Chains A and B, each alone.
Chain A
């Protein structure tokens, strides 16, 4: 096999695996965010590649309580099947007080800030409760580990929107989770910023170079199990991007299989339509997502 050449997907995979392994070697307190969506599920698969079948760090899910129910079912099913160290966190206070957009209390962006950004910040810092899946009982229990995560692996892609196109593979966040976009560290030849001052942490982005199409091509090639929400269930609609149901809308599409999605993205009707077009919070104000992301949104 002297002439074995690596394909584009092979290259992307090798780079992501390399980044995951760097993260695992350098960070004692490491976690991966799993939003249940296709990107972070590909990321999870890549972790199993990198660590030869295992996922040697916890997976953290931020449950806004407005996630589409299938997402939670799918999450727990895979967690059991793949023996994952599954953790979720939540802004229980805001949800209990009905201080949310779906309850009509606040606007979309403020809701994102409370249910996602805030919940994420505190779950990562360990000062809000973390719930951990007990594989014996299949129940979530209060996690005793309150240590802050100093390395957080996130499945963002550069092609999603403007501020993400400027991200580093290893991106430092200060004590308040803030991102200093104007002064990011250099990254040369696969040498990343893996050193950090006490109190700060790093976001790790192994999927930056992947496009939405690459993600689906890879899901097809590797046969990665993906939640059924992405496929048309017979009503001519499917989700292209998953989030909270009050703010994420399905698109018109009859794609029922991964292959049909790949075709749709490559040449079909979505070849030129932005993926996040179905996400309402991106539109509420001009630099909405950049502002959210500077404050720690994924």
Chain B
């Protein structure tokens, strides 16, 4: 059996041209990590094109990068020290490519930050430092580079160290190491330099090996975001497998578990593996799969936790720090998509507490939007309850991204949940009702005339059963002389402009549109019928709110995953169209909505 070595990802950051790529190139060359002939090939190519040789060309592999002498996108390179294997991530320093830098850095467990001794601390030296603290990278060493340009002057080095230490203090980062180096000349890279006798610390290579990898969080609370639920019946496999990765903690067969936000509970039956038989436990970092003792209805996105441990927050509002990378600014009251762990929900920005200048660390109040490269503390509201932790408790379930127009446009960390009554939806409804110019014919007068109250009937469940029932229901009601209408147009087709193939946002547009239509049509006195494939509790609440004060009746077909009083009537998946319709009519009569003797 081979002894398994440890692997660590280290990102190299810093201001443009301060020598990051050169440092990595030198590190690779001086540790003999380059494939044979690579260095010579690059040298030859430089001669060929009459350009001075640069170690950076070993990393800057793209044509545009070489012609412009600049790193555009992060690159991975691989090297080994005595101690462990490294993936070294070269990040670009130019502000234009900040999103690429963040992409590289978000994969890292440690960072080297390069500062040019000659140019001193620049804008992105600070911005990158701030982003390290934002991304939660605690291992950080500062390389003061190009010492050759300042004659290896100790006082210049110490000045930079003092200034930068002050800055680090402000952002709550501590760096134990500042190393004076010359990347181009290989000083203090893999061995201590004779040119810098006054420096007695580690060289870069030793500094790397001295980084500590965060201990895996096996002992922490279990967080298992459900990535998917598999049932490969087509392959003759009857197992129902809850798939995902253990983000923290440990889980064993027999454990009592709770899924959030739904709060469904069950017990782990088996931990599934391929090709070996079942394991007895899964630990943080493992991609795994479970079967449960009981068949409960849960969806991808929920977080599985151990019932007796401290659970994540469940809320619709939270306070967070966001970092914005989008071409369009982050604005209030626009539907975005939030991705946190495996949950995806529509989200809106409701408040900007302040925007921070990541270089000067000064905060700007009263800004109405968050622009590209801003960092801001904000309040967000999700359309549905989500489960999350705060960043200081369990980071993996406290980090999120915001998707705007198919692109990841922002990254964020949750600071705390916010518990409020107010919601964007509530405010919208309030305004809608307030500005509504009421008809002289009140709902009561209409009900008297039509001999029935108005109602929205939602038939929820498999459409193959639901649609025929809905049709039959409309027909039956019509024959009884009731004012009824089956909404058969997919409502997203009614909403002009709101088209996207983002299924999460599409679904919200669809339901919002449906809710608004329902409010108008039930106000007109109709019994409005609609079918929906699979509606959850939050979605139902949204529809109900939008349709208020008219009543909403829910008919559930198949397995009832709602809490006891959410579905008014439950029909089986085998229910025939007419018998189903009759049952619904009976229910409506019973609950007085259709009483022929109806009077107020």
Assess A162 versus B62: contact at CB under 8 Å? Given A4-B281, A286-B45.
yes
Smallest CB-CB separation from B337: which chain A residue? A195
For the complex, give the distance between the alpha carbons of A24 and B106 in Å: 23
B274 A6 Cβ-Cβ under 8 A:
no
Interface mask (A139-159 → B, CB under 8 Å = 1, otherwise 0):
000000000000000000011
B245 A18 Cβ-Cβ under 8 A:
yes
For the complex, give the distance between the alpha carbons of A7 and B3 in Å: 9
Assess A50 versus B100: contact at CB under 8 Å? Given A165-B61, A189-B401, A191-B408.
no
* Residue of B35, B75, B244 with most partner-chain A CB within 10 A: B35
Assess A186 versus B63: contact at CB under 8 Å? Given A181-B73, A198-B501, A272-B34.
no
Of the listed stretches A31-39, A52-60, A106-114, A247-255, chain B binds: A52-60
Smallest CB-CB separation from B504: which chain A residue? A195
Interface mask (A44-70 → B, CB under 8 Å = 1, otherwise 0):
000011111110100000000000000
Is B120 an interface residue when CB atoms closer than 8 A count as contact? no
Is A77 an interface residue when CB atoms closer than 8 A count as contact? no
Assess A197 versus B501: contact at CB under 8 Å? Given A182-B64, A186-B411.
yes
Assess A186 versus B325: contact at CB under 8 Å? Given A14-B245, A208-B76, A272-B36.
yes
A52 B241 Cβ-Cβ under 8 A:
yes
A191 B401 Cβ-Cβ under 8 A:
yes
Is A21 an interface residue when CB atoms closer than 8 A count as contact? yes
For the complex, give the distance between the alpha carbons of A6 and B85 in Å: 15
Is B175 an interface residue when CB atoms closer than 8 A count as contact? no
For the complex, give the distance between the alpha carbons of A3 and B219 in Å: 9
Smallest CB-CB separation from B106: which chain A residue? A188
For the complex, give the distance between the alpha carbons of A4 and B279 in Å: 13
Which of A8, A186, A191 interacts with B4 by CB under 8 Å? A8
A3-29 interface with B by 8 A CB criterion: 3-15, 17-18, 21-22, 24-25
Of the listed stretches B225-233, B468-476, B533-541, chain A binds: B225-233
Is B524 an interface residue when CB atoms closer than 8 A count as contact? no
Is B285 an interface residue when CB atoms closer than 8 A count as contact? yes
Which of B6, B72, B285, B411 interacts with A181 by CB under 8 Å? B72
B274 contacts across to A, CB distance below 8 A: 48-49, 52-53
Assess A165 versus B76: contact at CB under 8 Å? Given A6-B216, A7-B4, A273-B36.
yes
Interface mask (B186-205 → A, CB under 8 Å = 1, otherwise 0):
00000000000000000000
A199-228 interface with B by 8 A CB criterion: 208-209, 211, 217, 220
For the complex, give the distance between the alpha carbons of A189 and B289 in Å: 21
Which of B78, B228, B407, B411 interacts with A193 by CB under 8 Å? B407
For the complex, give the distance between the alpha carbons of A3 and B215 in Å: 11
B218 contacts across to A, CB distance below 8 A: 2-4
B103 A187 Cβ-Cβ under 8 A:
yes
* Residue of A4, A273, A287 with most partner-chain B CB within 10 A: A4
For the complex, give the distance between the alpha carbons of A1 and B239 in Å: 26
A9 contacts across to B, CB distance below 8 A: 4
Shortest C-beta distance, A184 to chain B (Å), equals 6
A13 contacts across to B, CB distance below 8 A: 287
Is A245 an interface residue when CB atoms closer than 8 A count as contact? no
Is B297 an interface residue when CB atoms closer than 8 A count as contact? no
For the complex, give the distance between the alpha carbons of A198 and B405 in Å: 12
B272 contacts across to A, CB distance below 8 A: 52
B4 A51 Cβ-Cβ under 8 A:
no
A166 B74 Cβ-Cβ under 8 A:
yes
B35 A273 Cβ-Cβ under 8 A:
yes
Assess A54 versus B76: contact at CB under 8 Å? Given A11-B7, A14-B286, A189-B106.
no
Task: Tell me whether chain A's interface is mostly helix, strand or loop, or mixed.
Answer: loop
A168 B103 Cβ-Cβ under 8 A:
yes
B570 contacts across to A, CB distance below 8 A: none
B65-87 interface with A by 8 A CB criterion: 72-78, 85, 87
For the complex, give the distance between the alpha carbons of A53 and B230 in Å: 12
A189 contacts across to B, CB distance below 8 A: 106, 396, 399, 401, 411
For the complex, give the distance between the alpha carbons of A52 and B243 in Å: 10
For the complex, give the distance between the alpha carbons of A197 and B502 in Å: 9
Assess A274 versus B38: contact at CB under 8 Å? Given A17-B287, A185-B407, A197-B406.
yes
For the complex, give the distance between the alpha carbons of A285 and B73 in Å: 22
Assess A195 versus B502: contact at CB under 8 Å? Given A6-B216, A52-B274, A83-B235.
yes
* Residue of B45, B78, B99, B411 with most partner-chain A CB within 10 A: B78
B6 contacts across to A, CB distance below 8 A: 8
Which of A6, A15, A158, A287 interacts with B63 by CB under 8 Å? A287
Which of A10, A49, A209, A277 interacts with B76 by CB under 8 Å? A209
B207-262 interface with A by 8 A CB criterion: 216, 218-219, 227-228, 230, 232, 235, 237, 239, 241, 243-245, 250
Shortest C-beta distance, A27 to chain B (Å), equals 11
B408 A53 Cβ-Cβ under 8 A:
no
A272 B35 Cβ-Cβ under 8 A:
yes
For the complex, give the distance between the alpha carbons of A14 and B282 in Å: 12
Assess A5 versus B32: contact at CB under 8 Å? Given A14-B245, A188-B106, A196-B406.
no
Interface mask (B360-372 → A, CB under 8 Å = 1, otherwise 0):
0000000000000
A195 B406 Cβ-Cβ under 8 A:
yes
B411 A6 Cβ-Cβ under 8 A:
no
Assess A24 versus B228: contact at CB under 8 Å? Given A7-B4, A189-B401, A274-B38.
yes
Smallest CB-CB separation from B61: which chain A residue? A162
Smallest CB-CB separation from A286: which chain B residue? B45
Is A290 an interface residue when CB atoms closer than 8 A count as contact? yes
A18 B287 Cβ-Cβ under 8 A:
yes
A193 contacts across to B, CB distance below 8 A: 406-408
Which of A53, A286, A290 interacts with B237 by CB under 8 Å? A53
Smallest CB-CB separation from B3: which chain A residue? A7
B280 contacts across to A, CB distance below 8 A: 1
A22 contacts across to B, CB distance below 8 A: 227
Assess A290 versus B287: contact at CB under 8 Å? Given A49-B274, A166-B73.
no
B285 A161 Cβ-Cβ under 8 A:
no
Smallest CB-CB separation from B285: which chain A residue? A6
Which of A186, A209, A220 interacts with B87 by CB under 8 Å? A209
Assess A186 versus B102: contact at CB under 8 Å? Given A181-B72, A195-B502, A198-B501.
yes
For the complex, give the distance between the alpha carbons of A287 and B339 in Å: 37
B239 contacts across to A, CB distance below 8 A: 52
B56 contacts across to A, CB distance below 8 A: none
Smallest CB-CB separation from A210: which chain B residue? B78
Which of A51, A188, A262 interacts with B399 by CB under 8 Å? A188
B339 contacts across to A, CB distance below 8 A: 191
B62 A163 Cβ-Cβ under 8 A:
yes
For the complex, give the distance between the alpha carbons of A14 and B289 in Å: 12
Is B348 an interface residue when CB atoms closer than 8 A count as contact? no
* Residue of A7, A165, A193, A274 with most partner-chain B CB within 10 A: A165
For the complex, give the distance between the alpha carbons of A186 and B219 in Å: 32
B78 A21 Cβ-Cβ under 8 A:
no
Is B329 an interface residue when CB atoms closer than 8 A count as contact? no
A50 B73 Cβ-Cβ under 8 A:
no
Assess A53 versus B275: contact at CB under 8 Å? Given A182-B72, A198-B501, A273-B36.
yes
Contacts A21-B244, A186-B408, A273-B36 supplied; 19 other A-B pairs, CB < 8 Å: A2-B219, A5-B216, A9-B4, A21-B287, A25-B228, A50-B243, A52-B274, A56-B235, A165-B75, A166-B61, A166-B74, A181-B73, A182-B72, A182-B73, A187-B107, A188-B399, A272-B35, A274-B36, A290-B63
What are 17 sample pairs from A and B whose C-beta atoms fall under 8 A apart?
A6-B283, A17-B287, A21-B227, A21-B243, A21-B244, A48-B274, A49-B274, A50-B243, A50-B287, A158-B77, A182-B62, A184-B100, A188-B103, A189-B401, A198-B501, A208-B76, A273-B35
- Listed from nearest, the 10 A-B pairs whose CB atoms lie closest are A162-B61, A7-B4, A274-B35, A17-B287, A158-B76, A195-B406, A191-B401, A165-B75, A8-B7, A186-B99
